[in-house]
Structure 1
Amino acid sequence: MVKKVSVCHIQPDFADLIDTKEDNDFYINVDESLDHVKEYRVNIGGHSDLVQHDPKLYSVELEGKKYKFCVNEGNYTDIAQDRWTCIDAIGQPTTQFALGDSEGNIRVFDSTSSLKHDIREAHLDEITCLKYFPSGKVLLSGSIDMRLKIWSLADESNPRTFYGHKSRITDACMVERGRNFVSSSQDGTIKLWETGSGSEIHTFYRKENPLDGVNTLGLNKSSKIESPRGSNVLEFGTEGKTVLAGHNSGVITVYDLFNKNQVAQLPSYFMSSCNTLIKVLDEPNYLYAGYSNGALAQWDLRKADKPIDQVLINEGIPINHIYYHSNSLYVSSGVDTTIRLDLQMPKGDINAEAPTFLVANDCQVAQFVATPDNNNIIAVGNWGLCVHFQC
């Protein structure tokens, strides 16, 4: 059975209006379908069913359905920016956050939101992915300009650029300590690189359709894959690991990173592009994927014929990004919907009955990341959105 999330939007400044104690009202809109939105008016001065549970969490019941709203803690940075496109965070050697924008710039902030590094024109076009190396002293960036670059945060230099993809870079994953990393592109390829030499070790692609563009990657450990030792002197930590790739076709492919084989394929169950996927840490079998038709699916790699759970959010509207943290999925959908969905452990089923809508100023969220202390989630997106929510 397909579950559906009843999508709701609340006036972004409703909490500020409540604090004024004045006789104001604000809207709550429920999307009953793509073509019909039902508006409710809530009067602050009169009787209201809106309940405040803590300083940032509210709930309301409308026609028998309960909706929760989490107010953000405010903008993390006040830098004027059209669109943040990606973010990563790390806690060493100090807490820092790296943000990429739509114009090819990279900025790094510390825990007080002070700007520490300002790398202008790092790429010729939009930054699509940023990944810290485990040391926290080096940063990897990918872009629409088809290049990947390494940046030293000691002096903001670019010691190495990686060429080889023939279309936009879409994602990247670090392999253990970062001696190797994996990247993906809309050209249909997934490449394994060696960082020190800049060598391209191997190119993966979907056997059934080599040009099937890749939108998203995930790294996984697999105890079932037995890898012979001594394959390549330029590989470090690839044994027993697989890389998962979400394709334009909606297919998800799985590759043995060490043996270089395509070992599994999840079907295009929804007949729409797989835009984003996320692995559950320390759980080798479960993954979650978001699709361009609004579907959010849970897959079990041991049962690859169909999803074991699925939810529709804004049916017909693409899911942009999903992020897993503390047994919850953070989901960006369409141009203005941001939701937290709790997972029912240990099976990881998606709870669609009690969504929490994250009040993100009606902006489209590009990516989420947890702060290194795991107390907050930061969301970045359009109109310079860079806000944090309590987990």
Structure 2
Amino acid sequence: MVKTVTVCHIQPDFAEYLDTGVGEEFYINLDESLNHIKEYRVKCRDDSLFQELSRNLYGTELDGKKFRFCTKESDYADIVSDRWTCIDVNDQSATLYALGDAEGNIRVFNSIPTLQQEILSAHLDEITTLRFFPSGQVVLSGSTDMRLKIWSLVDGTNPRTFEGHKAQITDTCMIGRGRNFVSSSLDGTLKLWETGSGLAVHTFHRKENSSDGVNTMNLISENTKDQDALSHNLEFGTAGKRIIAGHESGVITLHDLFTKKQTLQLPSTFMCSCNTLTRNPSNNDQFYAGYQNGGLAQWDLRKPEQPLDQAYINEGIPINRLYYRSNGLYVSSGVDTALKLDLDEKKGTIHCENPTFLVVNDSQVAQFAAAPRSGGVIAVGNWGLCSSYNC
């Protein structure tokens, strides 16, 4: 049985009403279906209906269902763009945020935040993925222009460009210290690159359909005996590394980076595109997938026949992005909904009964990243959204 998460939207400035008492009431809209919305009016001082649970966290019960709302912990007002499309965070010697936008620009900020590097027109079109190299001094970018580029954050130069994909880049992941990385594309391929030479070491694709576009991927890293002794030409640390790839068909494939074999294929459980994947880095068996029709699935690679658990978030509205953080599943849904669902990984269940909605002011969240030194996240998206939440 597929569970259902009922979606709520709250008046974005409701917390100001509660703090000041200005205004008599605010609204909460309960999305009972795609075509039916039920509106509630909450009086500011009605503690019986609406309660402050903790700093930035509020709770209510509507039609016998419990809901929580999380307001912004911090709002990075100085980080401005019309539409942020991706973010990565490096927290080694100092905290740095790399953000890409829909115009092909990259901006890097510190934690104050102060602009550290601005790379305008880094790509011809939208930046779809950004990854810091472990040093924090170099960043990898990918775009709808089908190119991948390395950028020095010291002087803003572009020492290397990687070409070979025939459709937009959708995702990237670093291998170890970054001497190799993997990219995915809507052309149906995953490419393993060697950073120094700029060469594509190997190209992976789904065995059953080589043109089945890849929307998303995730790296699984396992300890391997004598891992350093295992090597191929132009490969460094690929032993014990696997890639999960989510395809436009909805199929999910598993590829071994060292042996170059596709080792598993999971079925298209919702019969629509798998848009996004995420996993707990400390659990190599389970992961979460989000689909075009609003479906969520929790998978276990040891039981690939069917998901451990399934849920809908307003069935019919696409899941844009998933992100695992502190035993919670952060979800971007449709054009204006972001929420957190609690998880029970031991039982393999997604808790849908008491969701926490992030107050994102009607923005569509493009991507989440871990907020440094806290258990929360940073969300970026359109209308200049760049805010942290700690639920």
1:287 corresponds in structure 2 to 287
Kindly report which structure 2 residues correspond to 1:81-100, keeping only aligned pairs within 5 A, or say none.
Answer: 81-100=81-100
1:205 corresponds in structure 2 to 205
Normalised to the residue count of structure 2, the TM-score between the two structures is 0.96
Distance 1:92 1:9 in 2: 37
Distance 1:28 1:344 in 2: 28
Structure 1 letter corresponding to 2:99: L
Alignment RMSD, CA only?
1.7
Distance 1:229 1:264 in 2: 26
Distance 1:389 1:231 in 2: 42
1:374 corresponds in structure 2 to 374
Which ranges in structure 1 are unaligned for 5 or more consecutive residues?
none
1:311 corresponds in structure 2 to 311
Off by >2 Å, runs of 4+ in structure 1: 45-48, 77-80, 221-231, 345-348
Q: After superposition, give the CA deviation of every residue in 1:290-322 in whole Å (9 maximum; x if it has no partner).
A: 000101100010111111111110101100000
Preserved contact between residue 220 and residue 279 of structure 1 (Cα < 8 Å): no
Preserved contact between residue 22 and residue 45 of structure 1 (Cα < 8 Å): no
Does residue 185 (structure 1) correspond to residue 181 (structure 2)? The answer is: no
Preserved contact between residue 228 and residue 237 of structure 2 (Cα < 8 Å): no
Structure 2 letter corresponding to 1:297: A
Distance 1:108 1:261 in 2: 37
The farther-off stretch of 368-377 and 138-147 is 368-377
Preserved contact between residue 309 and residue 350 of structure 2 (Cα < 8 Å): yes
Distance 1:29 1:227 in 2: 54
Normalised to the residue count of structure 1, the TM-score between the two structures is 0.96
Q: After superposition, give the CA deviation of every residue in 1:19-68 in whole Å (9 maximum; x if it has no partner).
A: 12134211000000000000001122556510011221100111211110
SS in 1 for 2:15: helix
Preserved contact between residue 225 and residue 256 of structure 1 (Cα < 8 Å): no
1:125 corresponds in structure 2 to 125
SS in 2 for 1:246: strand
Preserved contact between residue 231 and residue 239 of structure 2 (Cα < 8 Å): no
Q: Please report how far the alpha carbon of residue 155 of structure 1 lies from its aligned counterpart in structure 2 after TM superposition.
A: 0.8
The alignment of Structure 1 onto Structure 2 pairs a total of residues equal to 391
Kindly report which structure 2 residues correspond to 1:94-243, keeping only aligned pairs within 5 A, or say none.
Answer: 94-222=94-222, 230-243=230-243
Q: Please report how far the alpha carbon of residue 228 of structure 1 lies from its aligned counterpart in structure 2 after TM superposition.
A: 11
Kindly report which structure 2 residues correspond to 1:228-307, keeping only aligned pairs within 5 A, or say none.
Answer: 230-307=230-307
Q: Please report how far the alpha carbon of residue 160 of structure 1 lies from its aligned counterpart in structure 2 after TM superposition.
A: 0.4
Q: After superposition, give the CA deviation of every residue in 1:231-283 in whole Å (9 maximum; x if it has no partner).
A: 52311110011111100000001111001011100011110100000122121
Q: Please report how far the alpha carbon of residue 352 of structure 1 lies from its aligned counterpart in structure 2 after TM superposition.
A: 0.6
Q: Please report how far the alpha carbon of residue 342 of structure 1 lies from its aligned counterpart in structure 2 after TM superposition.
A: 0.7
The farther-off stretch of 76-85 and 326-335 is 76-85
The farther-off stretch of 21-30 and 311-320 is 21-30
SS in 1 for 2:29: strand
Distance 1:47 1:6 in 2: 23
Q: Please report how far the alpha carbon of residue 374 of structure 1 lies from its aligned counterpart in structure 2 after TM superposition.
A: 3.1
The farther-off stretch of 48-57 and 107-116 is 48-57
SS in 2 for 1:15: helix
Distance 1:172 1:136 in 2: 16
Distance 2:351 2:225 in 1: 32
1:322 corresponds in structure 2 to 322
Kindly report which structure 2 residues correspond to 1:33-52, keeping only aligned pairs within 5 A, or say none.
Answer: 33-45=33-45, 48-52=48-52
Structure 1 letter corresponding to 2:94: T
Preserved contact between residue 219 and residue 279 of structure 1 (Cα < 8 Å): no
Distance 1:138 1:224 in 2: 28
Preserved contact between residue 380 and residue 386 of structure 1 (Cα < 8 Å): yes
1:339 corresponds in structure 2 to 339
Structure 2 letter corresponding to 1:63: D
Preserved contact between residue 93 and residue 137 of structure 1 (Cα < 8 Å): no
SS in 2 for 1:18: helix
Preserved contact between residue 231 and residue 238 of structure 2 (Cα < 8 Å): no
Distance 1:249 1:201 in 2: 26
Structure 2 letter corresponding to 1:265: Q
Q: Please report how far the alpha carbon of residue 348 of structure 1 lies from its aligned counterpart in structure 2 after TM superposition.
A: 4.1
SS in 1 for 2:75: coil
Preserved contact between residue 149 and residue 161 of structure 1 (Cα < 8 Å): yes
The farther-off stretch of 182-191 and 71-80 is 71-80
SS in 2 for 1:140: strand
Distance 2:316 2:330 in 1: 19
Distance 2:230 2:345 in 1: 39
